[in-house]
Amino acid sequence: MKALKKLKSKGHEAGQRLAVFLAVYTPLMAMADEWDQKAVQVAKNIRLGMFAIGGSLALLSLLWVGIGWMIARANGDHSKTFMDYVNQVIVIAAVGAALILGAWAWAYFGGGTVA
């Protein structure tokens, strides 16, 4: 008798879970269009922020190395050379290429556009 009650209880619990699942994931009840557009907008803002921060950091690091190179040339110690500057440009280009590739993959696989 206890086993039958336990089985009925599990069946009732599964029915409740199914009802909750359908209520939550039905687009009409969950208003999927509204939160979906908000999520897309947040993703676009994050992507734009990544570009802005990455570009700013690249410019600042390039300026830092360039200023260090100019100071080393003015002091005559040549602790920084033109090759240090070129190496920094190569690193920035590699990081920029990775950022662009990542943004392209996000747009391609995420279904958005690069904006």
How far apart CA 93 and CA 101 sit, in angstroms, is 12
Q: What is the pTM of this model?
A: 0.50
State residue 54's pLDDT score: 79
Which pLDDT tens digit goes with each residue over 59-103?
888 888 888 888 887 888 877 777 887 888 888 888 888 878 887
State residue 29's pLDDT score: 53
- Residue 110 makes CB contacts below 8 A (sequence gap 6+) with 43
Residue 115 has pLDDT above 60, yes or no: no
Residue 6 has pLDDT above 60, yes or no: no
How far apart CA 74 and CA 71 sit, in angstroms, is 5
Q: How many CB atoms lie within 10 A of CB 114?
A: 13
How far apart CA 113 and CA 36 sit, in angstroms, is 15
3-state DSSP assignment of residue 113: coil
Which pLDDT tens digit goes with each residue over 8-57?
566 677 777 877 777 666 655 555 567 677 777 887 888 788 888 878 88
State residue 11's pLDDT score: 63
Number of residues assigned to the chain: 115
Structure tokens at 68: 């260090």
Residue 5 has pLDDT above 70, yes or no: no
